[in-house]
Structure 1
């Protein structure tokens, strides 16, 4: 932070929050809790500690009992506001806590919560608040992120699971050391719904196995975040999620029609709850979403504060096998008589290395053979920086140096180029 940076003191009354958005031309800001108690999406702030929020950050510091906050740095979009929705959210948390306690008493499983709604209504925020409140009481909930466009745990184009053992770090985000990630490859579930549902079903099997092996995780329950595709095929995907994870609580944010449809289509034992969106939730532009995706990918390779050092390596074409899931569909009229149309959505298709791979992100697979690919989680990601067809090499950005622990790569629609 620059010497002599602007410093403002905000005095927040009970049940209020300081909302902020760090614009590109203002640079990062720092926020310090001077007195009282406050939290950032459910994580408590430490008194007298500076927290840095980088360019592009949007958030809110909330207080139940009142507090004073110092803000250091320039930010035009900075204001205080009452936040009645937080009391609604904590009531939901209290209900989940009661379900967890009952699960311990009956040796049953804890609440499985699915959070749905349109884009930009605060689904990821509510998910983070609920897992943070759970861990602050000693629970270890499983957080599942099925938002393939703006994934909080892993790379865009993936579905992921993470056991939350402590509140999420305010500056670094989720601790992803023990994440379980599966390749999907697209930014929307409707790009290939059959494959998306298949990946979700397999992830649900893994979650069930984890709960069977751990009484603590089983009682703590599951919080599932989703993307904003809620119509037509997107809605059918959400119904599949509900069935695969055997949810008991459905939270619909800010959409009465969606709430009514789920009430009609889900089993009676599922508790369906309608919640308003937070006043701080605003519509995000395509430019903001693209930048958020870029920063998410950059964070994977370089860390939240550029503390990581990825490696640039040249890889011979013959050293790796590259595949994508799904192939163009052929009209039935083009098939020979008597030939059955192949399931193109689930087809594993080899990819030839060419200049079109430049700036593409690829998943690295734990699979050792082609037959294992569809049911293996990913071990990490690489980005293709350059392809040299004459030398038959491609230059990749990788978090690990040679020798690599993989030789199978899965192509994604996600792009990343270093600026």
Structure 2
């Protein structure tokens, strides 16, 4: 029997039957420091594929949307104020486990035949649980002793780095319940906008580069090569967004495409993808809710704050002055011109991947700057991955300096910086 027994106004106990999940949300914008504590009292349970430890407290703050699933039944205790908390009997977790089992069979086959493991893309409109399904499949793979590569192409949220980037990460252990996957040595490329449609030529270029490097790294790491990759994509699925999905599938040589919650997209992909690519339709979880524009902005802001200050473990970023004369700042993409105004043989989209020098000044205040590994513009800057990010917190025009927030102390590892449209107001 599933029931909730309130002990007091802020403490509840839930007894879950097998194959059910407890869903709860923490939404208190007036008190960001207010937390909810979850404990597993008996049985077994997991959050997005990460197993819970019995009697260990797990903390969740404002904005958290959590689903605790049990295969065999369990007792859970919740302390603190939740907006909603209920037990759901209808859940797609069994289907998601079947997908993992099918991918695992492909991994075993790749080991036996000495071939590359499965590359699975997850696609669908916004707010259908793509990131959550990625996390579940990656966690199950790691629990099966695999070392898959997580590829995040969603520039709107940025799970591997900050929003406005795409990246790849070798996953060697399950994600933390409240901290996500370990961020050691990620491969990150600068895009500079939270909208994949702002510069489709640039987006496709960096996706191609990330695909090439990811495939090379898989070939050089036997364990990762057999484990394959899980790819998270943006929620833009119509028009140019659909063409981006086709481009991603080609760039990463996808074997499997998992379509969440949109039959039209599923049927289009079945029609357009080669027979060698399997396309599967999956339902979204009933606990997935549509986010407001404000919650998306808050989520992006929180992701940048985490980059500099950490989540559970406090990080202490550095702040120092940089002379205008010591750095070169560029943005990617010049204003678009009609084809009739372009030089002979040049297309308008070539302008969208052009480097344009930016004069340091008030226009860069509160913007993120990507520190490129490129040493000069004579290199292919766009196809070069980045070392990390700094944020411009002050600009002094008299002294010709800008103050930057940086994860590491001065000096900057490179002096070629790329301007991002992502902004962050440092309130620390």
- Asked if these proteins are the same fold (TM beyond 0.5), I'd say yes
Aligned residue in 2 for 1:46 = 53
Aligned residue in 2 for 1:12 = 16
Aligned residue in 2 for 1:80 = 87
Residue deviations 1:311-365 (CA, integer Å, cap 9, x gap): 11111111111111100023355568x6856621110111111212111111111
Q: TM-score, normalised by structure 2?
A: 0.94
Match 1:303 to one of 299, 310, 316: 310
In structure 2, C-alpha distance between the alignment counterparts of 1:334 and 1:164, rounded to whole Å: 48
In structure 2, C-alpha distance between the alignment counterparts of 1:172 and 1:84, rounded to whole Å: 24
In structure 2, C-alpha distance between the alignment counterparts of 1:385 and 1:204, rounded to whole Å: 34
In structure 1, C-alpha distance between the alignment counterparts of 2:395 and 2:141, rounded to whole Å: 47
In structure 2, C-alpha distance between the alignment counterparts of 1:296 and 1:371, rounded to whole Å: 33
Give the drift of 1:30: 1.0
In structure 2, C-alpha distance between the alignment counterparts of 1:380 and 1:407, rounded to whole Å: 12
In structure 1, C-alpha distance between the alignment counterparts of 2:88 and 2:345, rounded to whole Å: 64
Q: Work out the number of aligned pairs and report it.
A: 415
Match 1:103 to one of 100, 106, 110: 110
In structure 1, C-alpha distance between the alignment counterparts of 2:36 and 2:136, rounded to whole Å: 22
Contact residue 188 and residue 229 of structure 1 kept, 8 A: no
Distance 1:231 1:341, change over 3 A: closer
Match 1:412 to one of 415, 420, 424: 420
Match 1:175 to one of 182, 195, 207: 182
Aligned residue in 2 for 1:135 = 142
Give the drift of 1:258: 0.4
Give the drift of 1:375: 2.3
Q: TM-score, normalised by structure 1?
A: 0.96
Contact residue 257 and residue 280 of structure 2 kept, 8 A: yes
SS in 1 for 2:184: coil
In structure 2, C-alpha distance between the alignment counterparts of 1:76 and 1:63, rounded to whole Å: 22
Give the drift of 1:247: 0.6
Give the drift of 1:150: 1.1
Contact residue 302 and residue 309 of structure 1 kept, 8 A: yes
Contact residue 361 and residue 395 of structure 2 kept, 8 A: yes
Residue deviations 1:5-54 (CA, integer Å, cap 9, x gap): 93221111111111121112461111111110000100000111001112
Aligned residue in 2 for 1:22 = 26
Judge which range, 365-374 or 282-291, deviates more: 365-374
In structure 2, C-alpha distance between the alignment counterparts of 1:258 and 1:145, rounded to whole Å: 20
In structure 1, C-alpha distance between the alignment counterparts of 2:120 and 2:97, rounded to whole Å: 15
1:395 has 2:382 as partner: no
SS in 2 for 1:150: coil
Match 1:376 to one of 369, 384, 404: 384
SS in 1 for 2:301: helix
Aligned residue in 1 for 2:157 = 150
The within-5 A match list for 1:268-279 is 268-279=275-286
Give the drift of 1:65: 0.8
Contact residue 309 and residue 399 of structure 1 kept, 8 A: yes
Query: Mind listing any 5+ residue stretches in structure 2 that lack a counterpart?
Result: 1-7
Residue deviations 1:275-304 (CA, integer Å, cap 9, x gap): 011111110000100000010000000000
In structure 1, C-alpha distance between the alignment counterparts of 2:89 and 2:416, rounded to whole Å: 51
1:345 has 2:352 as partner: yes
Which aligned runs of 4 or more in structure 1 are off by greater than 3 angstroms?
Answer: 331-336, 338-342
Distance 1:332 1:146, change over 3 A: closer
In structure 1, C-alpha distance between the alignment counterparts of 2:315 and 2:405, rounded to whole Å: 12
Give the drift of 1:88: 0.5
**Over the residues paired in the alignment, what is the CA RMSD in angstroms?**
1.5
Query: Mind listing any 5+ residue stretches in structure 1 that lack a counterpart?
Result: none
In structure 2, C-alpha distance between the alignment counterparts of 1:324 and 1:258, rounded to whole Å: 34
Aligned residue in 1 for 2:5 = none
In structure 1, C-alpha distance between the alignment counterparts of 2:93 and 2:184, rounded to whole Å: 30
Give the drift of 1:200: 0.6
Give the drift of 1:76: 2.1
